[in-house]
Amino acid sequence: MPEIILIAAIAQTNGVIGDRGKLPWSIPEDLKRFRQLTLHHTVIMGRKTWEFDLQKRPLPQRRNIIISSQKCQADGVEFVRSLSQAFDSADPKLFVIGGASIYRQALDFVDRMELTIVEGDYSGDVFFLEWRDRLSEFELIQIEQRDKYRFETYVRSEKTLAWRWAIDGLYS
């Protein structure tokens, strides 16, 4: 089974992640970290992130999978119709890179979260707050504080992992 990793930058105060199809901030180190973590792996995103954030340009040196209900085609990317189709992969690591609708649906399956918590007030039109409601399922294993933002790594706790394995066993 691949490791499923949710990677997101989130405003601490209100959970904003996007503003008119773009990130509400410019943090070069965050983009660098995103590239380092995802390079040579598979990235999974929603159609809006592909269209507005990436401007329909695939992330280089990564397998790009886009989820859409529409019949789409583009060079250098793969379109699938559902999250489960995107997760049906032999790749060792699958990075869920947004946006909010995909993050929400992925939360049940995520093994690790690589979050950039952006401090300060930001306005926007897309929010992802649900991760906070699920924190009891995860352990915070690393924090790297920077000026006005921090990197936090969460892994699904042993307890919830064991529970998931048991459920998987029941239905396999």
Ligand X SMILES: NC(=O)c1ccc[n+]([C@@H]2O[C@H](COP(=O)([O-])OP(=O)(O)OC[C@H]3O[C@@H](n4cnc5c(N)ncnc54)[C@H](OP(=O)(O)O)[C@@H]3O)[C@@H](O)[C@H]2O)c1
Strands 126-127 and 16-18, bridge-based pairing: antiparallel
Task: Assess 67 for contact with ligand X (CB under 6 A).
Answer: yes
Query: In the set 89, 101, 153, 160, which binds ligand X (CB under 6 A)?
Result: 101
Q: Does 172 bind ligand X (CB under 6 A)?
A: no
In angstroms, the CA 44 to CA 34 distance is 13
- Say if residues 82 and 63 touch (Cβ distance below 8 Å): no
x-or-dash string of contact with ligand X, 32-51, rule CB under 6 A:
-------------xxxxx--
Q: Which of 4, 5, 6, 8 binds ligand X (CB under 6 A)?
A: 8
Q: With binding defined as CB under 6 A, does residue 106 bind ligand X?
A: no
Pair type for strands 63-67 and 77-80: parallel
- At its nearest, how many Å lie between ligand X and the CB of residue 91? 20
Query: Minimum Å distance from CB 21 to ligand X?
Result: 5
* Rounded least distance, CB 139 to ligand X, Å: 21
Contact between 99 and ligand X (CB under 6 A)?
yes
Q: Which of residues 131-170 bind ligand X (CB under 6 A)?
A: none
CB of 104 to ligand X, least distance (A): 8
Q: Which stretch binds ligand X (CB under 6 A): 75-83, 88-96, 133-141, 161-169?
A: 75-83
18 binds ligand X (CB under 6 A): yes
Check if the beta carbon of residue 144 is closer than 8 Å to that of residue 151.
Answer: yes
